[in-house]
Structure 1
């Protein structure tokens, strides 16, 4: 049985992935400690390693070249920037898959990068004697056709570049009736595939992380940031294809409480401008507090430097 070692410090994710690989027929080992993982590789000699490079605060990046020297390593990571992918391949990764992933695609990539099994050595055939030849009836010889080489699972780099160059000339098909009547997420995916676009291209256009885009396509609202930021992502993706997002927004509001009324200061979450509610007090209240604070400071300073001042003042007022 083929053995796969998972290196990831996300316990919930590792448990789910281990279950998927076990159901696919693999023997699965897992660890969240880089040093222990390297000892496991030396002792168990796994056929493949799935590595999250952000394990132990990015310590996986340092271990990647050492692990790749022993067996194929597929980086399975939430670090999905272009420079991260380039860095992974430069360090010796056999493949690079970003989270979230599709299970079927991951299993196909694992099968393609798996070490070949050791050849089985057949036992030596007994030497035929003359008597054996006479007793054995002649059998017609059957020649097996030459085994064809399996088709590659993935395109070469040159083929992929050629496909990207020809994308603009590829005709855009019309949506089928079932696709037009599909749910919000499936309609978005159908529109994207119809126009031959990738999640990376859309991420660059609307500045929303690709794993949020995939969560919207899968209608996994729990994977989106809570509040108005999620609604803005849904609107941005829907308006990119001219799709009405009102029904999906209503569904999201029915599950999570959203307050979009109050103005706010903004910050960035996953390249998406996010707002936090902040109420401004009335102007008169600010002025009153400033005057009271100034008088208190002045009175305190006078009392500190001239303690008799207030006694003289009160005496003068009483007389």
Structure 2
């Protein structure tokens, strides 16, 4: 305890800033890899290194200690390779701050798109017609749009229903929307390989997660089997939505200057609201 107090008294303001910066960096890295396969890998590495250090110090294993000492620098060098997807996502988020200034979304266009997509999702759900609708935000999706059929038409629920009508030429693949314009249909998207993309998810849901992991786009999915409506964003997915809940998510996600909103925060707020409503019902009962 006395050693800690001695260190605190000798600490300069620059030392406190140094420690704070390192803590912020580690906290940001943990936020980036939370909910991904990387967190499992990081947990395993930390446990292995801690056990190895403890074992070598207690049993005084000279050769093992030498091996561990020389292996740690190599492990540090391999970190950028192991966590490449997460580092790429972090750099993309930094770049999106400038995109908000370069290309702000029009409020009227956002409102029109939200209304038409929510209405189309409800009608597709009632008809059990599968669909995958991607709403572009600040990360450009032109490369994925080029893999499909160019449309360049104003978004409407009727057009979306026509595109996703079963056995038509464009119903497979994704529709990509930029502001209030459908720019492509039948687009091919990357499939997610994360832990959320389990064997119970179909191709549309895996593609929705995949594009949300590689961009800040919003993916709306309608299941052909169950008619369930889902939304994916930032590698997260919320399922079993109705039109009003879908509209609520889109109103917070697909808006000008809302790059900091996260689907996880919406889900947390929504669960808190549901808990409050359940508590009120219990009190009234």
> Greater relative contact order: 1 or 2 (C-alpha under 8 angstroms, separation 6 or more)?
2
- Mark the structure with the bigger radius of gyration: 1
TM-score interval, smaller chain = under 0.3
More helix by share: 2
Q: TM-score, normalised by structure 2?
A: 0.25
